[in-house]
Amino acid sequence: MRPENYEAIKQPPSNEFELNFGPNHPGIEGNYAFRVKLNGDEVLSARADAGYLHRGFEKLMEGRLWIQNIALVPRICVPDPVPMEVCYSLAIEELCGLEIPERAQWLRVMQLEMSRLAAHLFAFGGHAATTGMYTPMFWGVADRDLILDRFEELTGGRVYSIYNIPGGVRRDMPDGFLDRLGALLDYLDSRLPDYDSLFFRNQVFIRRARDVGAMTQEQALKWGVTGPNLRATGLAFDVRRDDPYLAYEKIDFDVVTQPGGDALSRNLVRRAELKQSIRILRQVIKHLPSVKGAVRCPIPNPLAWNVPAGETYTRVESSKGELAYYVVSNGGDKPYRVHVRGPSSMHAVQVLEKLAVGSRLEDIAQIMFSLDACPPEVDR
Amino acid sequence: MSDISYKDKGSILGPFKSLSFFSRKPVTEPFEPRIAADNYRGFHVNDWDVCIGCSTCQKVCDNAAITMIKIPGLPDDPVMGIRNERPAIDYGRCCWCGLCVDICPTSSISLTQEYVHTCRENELDSYFILPDPNGMHNKLFPKGWSKTGDADLVDLERQPMAEMEPQSRSDNFDEIVDGFTKQQAIIEASRCVQCGMCHDSCPTNMHAPEYIRAIWEGDAEEAVRQMYRTNPFSHVCGRVCTHRCETACSIGRRGDPVAIRWLKRYAMDAVSDERVREIAAEGKADFVSGKKIAIIGSGPAGLTTAFDLAKNGHAVTVYEALHKPGGMTRYGIPEYRLPYDRLDADIDVIKSVGVRIECNVRIGSDITMEQLRQDFDAVVVAIGLQQGRSTRIPGSDHEQVRASVDLLRMITAGESFDVPESVVVIGGGNVAMDIARSLARMQKSQYGKVAVTVSALEDFDHFLADPEEVKEAREEGVVILDSRGPKECVIDKNGKLEGLTTLGVISIFDDDGRFAPSYDEVDEQLHHGGMVIESIGQMSDISLFGEELTEELEWNRGRLQADEDGVTSVSWLWSAGDMVHGPDVVHAVADGHRVAASIETYLNEGSSNNE
Amino acid sequence: MSKELNLWLDDLLKDIKIIQFKRKNSRRVRIDIAPEALPALLELLQGRASYVHLSAISCVDWIEENEFELVYHVWSYETNSLVSAHTRISREPGVYLSVYDLYTPAAFFERDIHEMFGVYFEGSPDMEKFILTEWNGPPPMRKDFDSEAFVNQTFNWEEYHPQWLKDIEAEGGGITTRPEDVR
């Protein structure tokens, strides 16, 4: 809502009052807002207010050639753009019956895990900032930048890599890339104890985050929670393992769970997933050189590419949870309909509204970051 | 290291570990922009010498960021497929995805490692740039994202065309090329980037991008409709056109050009003759103008003129001296390249819009020009070039020294002649190939072996005949010698032709570029042959005009003088086709349209003057 | 266990006459079902076959058939498979039943579809505007809403006219094809 349209909130003669939390607030991820009803600093209810980031991606996609959308989809989630590209590409590949080369599959896994690492670093850094700890945020963002360096080298772009294309990836990796990636992994590995002592095993954080925004596994399932947030309630589910795509079936990794269902658990899951992603990337580095061949299967001229009529619901595991694309083609050169199911469309709206009730005002930011909610996935 | 347990109580001392960072060297980022990665997607550069202005980048741009700018002074040559346009990019829209780079047919455009640009509020214009080789700020940055083999979005390989093997085709006149299947045609059509270079280069400006698109969409009828906008000889052109479109095709810059000619052929073959006639008749005038036009010669130029004028409601009569209409397309092109039934199909379409064709009528003897002038509102001479030129070398007046056009005509007409067991052809053009390959077929079926020698003046690097003609002729057993100049037709003492002697060519043109071949007198060879065929060019038989009219008309070095629109120095007479312009089908068609338009204007002016 | 459940479900669904059942692969099932039977199907899938996770509700505007297609993607954590239940409702008036009582996440998707397509879900807890709070036009995801035309009518494009372009125009050149000409 534009500021000039804000209603003056009439305060009742009691401790109850309403507050606009966001859209421009350091405790909010992206441009997003809550209207919070408070009794003192206890939250009585919270209502999500979106629309500040709406660019109409789904509508835009209907007006562009199939291939042109590869430059658009990563913008739906800034911190973790690669799953968007991959998911969209997988959907088209399924509709067209394209078999992507094995090397492209491994290259995609590599990017997906690099992107997950970057997103998790961002997420825990952000969470730390909401609890007043800025050093972990700087560390998280600075180390994410090193991953972006590798993205830049691999794809030519730092944030929106636009590297995946229906049929595979757009380029093979540069010479020596895996060595430099390996060096980065060694560095990140060595950083994990630093993060632990500074943040994850910091008593200030643990006491601050425990029991904040807690949900049970039953609640999580009922509310449609997915990804690390679901695993933080003790359910070992991961699309990569349980609905596998690309080369994940050939990769060894653990689906990490934590029992608490609260902000602490969610962060600890992410912390463990940092390690799992590094583990996956090490396997990629080991395996990728032995996979020779093309990085893209032949695809039609992008200007004259009719995707056969059909529909597909394609899912991947993004750093935030279950990401799905429902893509419908009517046989034309543009998508007939693309529906993006971002994990945050649950986490940032209903789940957050529910978890906020009964918490304290200063915890809303913490809950939001612990859910790793990404508003553009809601707004689209 | 195991994962942290949820029960872990943590430590308040842990964060003090960060104190150890005090001793570390701080990370300092320089003020200068960081050097970007090797394939960074920064600002564009465009190599103007390579760019052809095809605007494919504009079509793939997902942000509508590219505007095409016409730049005077740059080469602009439709025949070569070059436009003097270059892409300009709006950096308020561009997202540096690099699709323009990956699809660029020429690979002229690429992204650089430069990525910093800023300006004051009143300098927003600086976000609209015209990429050139020097980069956005005239600072040479290394290239970043540029074309690589694995990233090319242009399909450089043509769909293979199935054709008869040399051994099975070399003793008959069956059509060699099979034509595309529907699947192949759609795939081949999908390679097109719709740049329109083909349209610009085509003498009759066929709407090739439109019909290729229609074929890709599986709508062959629409493709035929697009063809008939400009070409009533689509069956013929789909087989034997010199396809300047493919020479200009932007995909051909780095790969095989789109097989535009074969696609045309596919669409024509895919639609029934009856349906083609219906499509061709669309837009025909629903009135009768009352004007009468006579056209002499039923080749592509004459019949195209007739087609256009008949569609406009005029009564058109075409006079043909030979048995069947078609002119050189019938009597000059061998059947293995153009089956007669396809030519007949084209002519049937033309007849179906109301053109009357009268064969076996020779103007000049059966009907005089004067009669035509009296009976018709306008007369078009489109008689083509039907007399072979002679080398006039010693011995060339021997009866076994023949002209290629005469023999080709006899072969089509089914007139018998003694096929020589060995033959020498003088000339290196497509007509020389046609007669050589036709005779090779006849030798093969009569004697079981081929003995045809072609001696051409040009060397293989500057050969006149199409490369595929040369290749196929060789496959069929024809021997082709380059850089040989004819010296003498050798006749033995019994008066029998023994063969042809040739000399090695030193140069063909003199310093002023005039045709004046010089020969190496030492390098002399004798090629045995019971027949020598001259195939060095044709000229028109202009006897039809009669003395009086010949006097009245203006001439230019033996050719009838006519302007672009075929207007001669006599007001009621037009001329079209090979006799005034260059010899190929598609030029003749283009000529036909121009002449028809000119006559249309003339008739309209005439009627308005009368009112 | 999970395999047996899958087989049981396949058999069961194949027997029901009002639906079309298609197994796409081991983890994807497509069901086409009449709108009046869909809630019962979802109840069956959730209550008897462990499809507890409503992954998404997608809406497709088939304007030529004057229909909206609603697709309910439900996932089972036990059998690791996804059922996509397709149903079609008339575009006018575009009213359907909410499945919020079965699946809590439906509230978001139904609200979103209501806002973007104008489909009203009876029984949904919240049909208020969410993203397009200040939008009074037609539901924008409908095929008959042309967003590009709206943008062109509403906003002014930045018209650039830099010096290099003026120089080229002075020589007789200039803009030949604008990007909007080829869209």
Q: Is B39 on the interface with A (CB under 8 A)?
A: yes
Domain count, chain C: 1
Give chains near B: 3+ CB pairs under 8 A: A, C
Closest Cα in chain C, distance from residue B253 (Å): 22
Any residues with CB less than 8 A from the CB of B557 and at least 6 apart, and which?
none
Q: So what's the pLDDT on residue A186?
A: 93
Nearest residue to B477 (alpha-carbon basis) of B530, B522, B438: B438
The domain ranges of chain A are 3-49, 57-379
Predicted complex ipTM: 0.86
* Partner-chain contact A202 B41, CB within 8 Å: no
Q: Phi first, then psi: what are they for B509, rounded to 5°?
A: -110, 150
CA distance B610 to C104: 86
Do the beta carbons of residue A90 and residue A338 sit within 8 Å?
no
Alpha helix (H) residue ranges in chain C? 2-15, 38-49, 106-117, 147-154, 163-170
pLDDT in tens, C83-133: 899 999 998 888 888 989 889 889 999 999 999 998 999 888 888 888 888
Q: Which of A2, A221, A339 sits opposite C52 (nearest CB)?
A: A221
Give the pLDDT band (50/70/90) at residue B89. very high
Closest Cα in chain B, distance from residue C169 (Å): 8
Nearest residue to B260 (alpha-carbon basis) of B297, B336, B209: B209
* Partner-chain contact A153 B38, CB within 8 Å: yes
Question: Residue B401 corresponds to which tokens in the numbers above?
Answer: 């020294």
Residues of A in contact with B15 (CB under 8 A): 135, 197-199, 202, 204
CA distance B530 to B552: 44
Q: Which of A172, A204, A304 sits opposite B216 (nearest CB)?
A: A304
* Partner-chain contact C147 A60, CB within 8 Å: yes
Closest Cα in chain B, distance from residue C158 (Å): 9
* Partner-chain contact A201 B11, CB within 8 Å: yes
**CA-to-CA separations, C149 to B608, C143, C146, C153, in angstroms, rounded:** 46, 13, 5, 6
* Partner-chain contact B1 A192, CB within 8 Å: yes
**Cβ neighbour number for residue B394 with a 10 Å cutoff:** 14
Closest Cα in chain A, distance from residue B104 (Å): 12
Q: What is the CATH number of the domain that holds C122?
A: 3.30.460.80
Question: Residue C123 corresponds to which tokens in the numbers above?
Answer: 């029984």
Residues of C in contact with B93 (CB under 8 A): 179
Residue B607 has pLDDT above 60, yes or no: no
pLDDT in tens, B389-399: 888 888 888 88
pLDDT in tens, B29-51: 788 888 888 889 999 999 988 89
Does residue C23 lie within any of the structural domains?
yes
Mean pLDDT of chain B: 86
pLDDT in tens, B398-429: 888 888 888 888 888 888 888 888 899 998 88
Q: So what's the pLDDT on residue A11?
A: 62
Q: So what's the pLDDT on residue C13?
A: 67
Residues of A in contact with B96 (CB under 8 A): 157
Does residue C131 lie within any of the structural domains?
yes
Q: Which of B15, B27, B62 sits opposite A72 (nearest CB)?
A: B62
Residue B466 has pLDDT above 50, yes or no: yes
Residues of C in contact with B123 (CB under 8 A): none
Give chains near A: 3+ CB pairs under 8 A: B, C
Q: What is the mean pLDDT of residues B428-437?
A: 88
Q: Is B8 on the interface with A (CB under 8 A)?
A: yes
Does residue C28 lie within any of the structural domains?
yes
Do the beta carbons of residue A30 and residue A365 sit within 8 Å?
no
Q: Phi first, then psi: what are they for B70, rounded to 5°?
A: -85, 130
Q: Which of C158, C171, C175 sits opposite B67 (nearest CB)?
A: C175
pLDDT in tens, B142-199: 888 888 877 888 888 888 888 888 888 877 888 888 888 888 888 888 888 888 889 9
Give the pLDDT band (50/70/90) at residue B544. confident
Q: So what's the pLDDT on residue B610?
A: 45
Residues of A in contact with B59 (CB under 8 A): 303
* Partner-chain contact B88 C171, CB within 8 Å: no
**Parallel, antiparallel or unpaired: strands B538-539 and B387-388:** antiparallel
Q: What is the mean pLDDT of residues B216-228?
A: 88
Residues of chain A with pLDDT under 50: none
Does residue C148 lie within any of the structural domains?
yes
A57-379 belongs to which homologous superfamily?
Cytochrome-c3 Hydrogenase, chain B (1.10.645.10)
Question: Residue C104 corresponds to which tokens in the numbers above?
Answer: 């809590």
Give the pLDDT band (50/70/90) at residue C17. low
Residue C165 has pLDDT above 50, yes or no: yes
Q: What is the mean pLDDT of residues C135-160?
A: 86
Do the beta carbons of residue A161 and residue A155 sit within 8 Å?
yes
Residues of A in contact with B187 (CB under 8 A): 300
Question: Residue B35 corresponds to which tokens in the numbers above?
Answer: 């050097």
Q: What is the mean pLDDT of residues B566-590?
A: 81
**Cβ neighbour number for residue B24 with a 10 Å cutoff:** 7
Residue C76 has pLDDT above 50, yes or no: yes
Q: What is the mean pLDDT of residues B2-17?
A: 79
Do the beta carbons of residue C84 and residue C55 sit within 8 Å?
no
Reduce the DSSP state of residue A346 to 3 states and report it: helix
Q: So what's the pLDDT on residue B1?
A: 44
Does residue C181 lie within any of the structural domains?
no
* Partner-chain contact A206 B192, CB within 8 Å: no
Residue B570 has pLDDT above 60, yes or no: yes
Residue type, A2: R
Closest Cα in chain C, distance from residue B322 (Å): 49
Q: Is A54 on the interface with C (CB under 8 A)?
A: yes
pLDDT in tens, B318-346: 998 888 888 888 888 888 888 888 888 88
pLDDT in tens, A309-341: 999 999 999 998 899 999 999 988 899 999 999
* Partner-chain contact A243 C147, CB within 8 Å: no
Give the gyration radius of chain C's Cα atoms. Answer: 23
Q: Domain span at residue C20?
A: 2-175
Q: So what's the pLDDT on residue B606?
A: 64
CA distance C2 to C8: 10
Q: In chain B, what are the domains? A: 44-151 (3.30.70), 170-282 (1.10.1060.10), 287-385+542-611 (3.50.50.60), 387-539 (3.50.50.60)
